[in-house]
Structure 1
């Protein structure tokens, strides 16, 4: 279907990764957009309202309509209503719980529906933990894979981690994944026990905040750090395996 005049746009709005001033990551153009948008598709309406209240002081939250992606029902949302609004000329914003919508995020479902229906999709600049951690890792930024969460089942998980190691060693491909924050320390110890001690691990924690920490070291040194009590327990983190500078 061809895009026609008079239709609204779907704006993909990156938001904060942690507690940080809005000016640290949100361009003025996006802040102005947030002042005028009245419709959103979000993961959680309550946290989205809280974010908008911080980002746009004085905004009357009661004038907004927020449609949730229902995680209990395959991230369903009122698709027909959203498309009706867009075809009627209303602009709609999509926001993740953190970072970029559509990247490791169910917002891609809304984007796909809009492409099928001929609605213009407008991605806006903002923080992405995947790209920020890759930039700061010192690893290959031209050849990489993001896996999301690793499998929970032990045998499958170990198999995937060994495959990640093979890709790093043989292809120089950076491997990127995340974990539930309460399992961060356990994951690092698991990597140290299973993989080659010379393999490089980069850990990026609390990105963009005042508590931000980024370290890239061989697993042999990570093992020593963890044995000395270093902990990333319950802190938002992203993990990268790589070869470093050859």
Structure 2
């Protein structure tokens, strides 16, 4: 057991500081975030050119180093060594919260495993402002991020998400939004409510609300620009006891049923069993694989 006291660790040599950056409007940068970037020995960022613009705007002289999806293993090992040698490193992404549909998780995991303090700063991200402005339930929600590109895996994930009881949050790029809305209308049902946010916090910020079929039609007529955050209505349903055909099955038998009878992959079957039984996916995974 290792108990990190974040308040005392902040600014201490050998700390990783997670710093959110604006997703559009530079005024969303916090005073604390600017100060931490100035005091750090190094800023690890996705695109040094993008972060350089931010640093120039706020007069931040700290050196930059590249840390992105394609070099995160090699760069992460080097950053870990610098942290172990006492450097304070600020981790940023191009926009928003590092680690949320952006690089960062692996480096944070390495720091935790090596008992290096990880200090998270609150700040800008796209998911929560989109959620709270959607008009859909906010008491419980399921953040998914970007859908996979592989068609088979994508279909499996959509089938799973369509059964989620709570509000679902997706990210999507402008060149894939039409295809995604079409798929969602088919798998989730045309009447499922959805709110789309694009260009959030920017000059041409827009929120479009309706059902999936209405927004599918909108996407066919609209000139698509900007990154999107989709907030989709959940089923709002809890399985009734009469629908719990699996009650006499063990979790392993339940998963095997979906694999053998429904031709699901083991990953999709585990997710579906977790939904059926109202259990954490990780718990179902462990029960299935640790036998």
Q: TM class, shorter-chain normalised?
A: 0.7 to 0.9
Out of 188, 191, 202, the residue aligned to residue 198 of structure 1 is 191
Q: Which position in structure 2 is the counterpart of 1:69?
A: 67
Instruction: Say which SS state the counterpart of residue 137 (structure 1) adopts.
Output: coil
In the alignment, structure 1 residue 237 sits paired with structure 2 residue 228:
yes
Q: Flag the 1:2–1:186 CA change in 2: closer, same or farther, 3 A.
A: closer
State the superposition RMSD in angstroms.
2.8
How far residue 206 of structure 1 moved from its aligned partner, in angstroms, is: 0.8
Q: Flag the 1:33–1:135 CA change in 2: closer, same or farther, 3 A.
A: same
- Larger RCO, structures 1/2 (Cα 8 Å, 6+ apart): 1
Out of 81, 90, 94, the residue aligned to residue 93 of structure 1 is 90
Q: Following superposition of structure 1 onto structure 2, how do residues 1-246 of structure 1 map, counting pairs within 5 Å?
A: 7-18=13-24, 20=25, 22-23=26-27, 25-54=28-57, 56-57=58-59, 59-60=60-61, 64-73=62-71, 75-79=73-77, 81-167=78-164, 171=165, 173-226=166-219, 229-231=221-223, 233-243=224-234
Q: Which moved more, 1:194-203 or 1:217-226?
A: 217-226
Aligned counterparts of 1:28 and 1:211: Cα–Cα separation in 2: 25
How far residue 224 of structure 1 moved from its aligned partner, in angstroms, is: 4.5
Gap regions ≥5 residues in structure 2? 238-291
How far residue 2 of structure 1 moved from its aligned partner, in angstroms, is: 6.9
* Number of aligned residue pairs: 231
TM-score, length of structure 2 as denominator length: 0.69
Aligned counterparts of 1:142 and 1:116: Cα–Cα separation in 2: 32
Q: Flag the 1:33–1:70 CA change in 2: closer, same or farther, 3 A.
A: closer
Structure with bigger strand share is 1
Aligned counterparts of 2:132 and 2:188: Cα–Cα separation in 1: 23
Aligned counterparts of 2:217 and 2:69: Cα–Cα separation in 1: 40
Gap regions ≥5 residues in structure 1? none
CA contact (8 A) 1:192 1:222 kept: no
Q: Flag the 1:223–1:93 CA change in 2: closer, same or farther, 3 A.
A: closer
Q: Flag the 1:52–1:160 CA change in 2: closer, same or farther, 3 A.
A: same
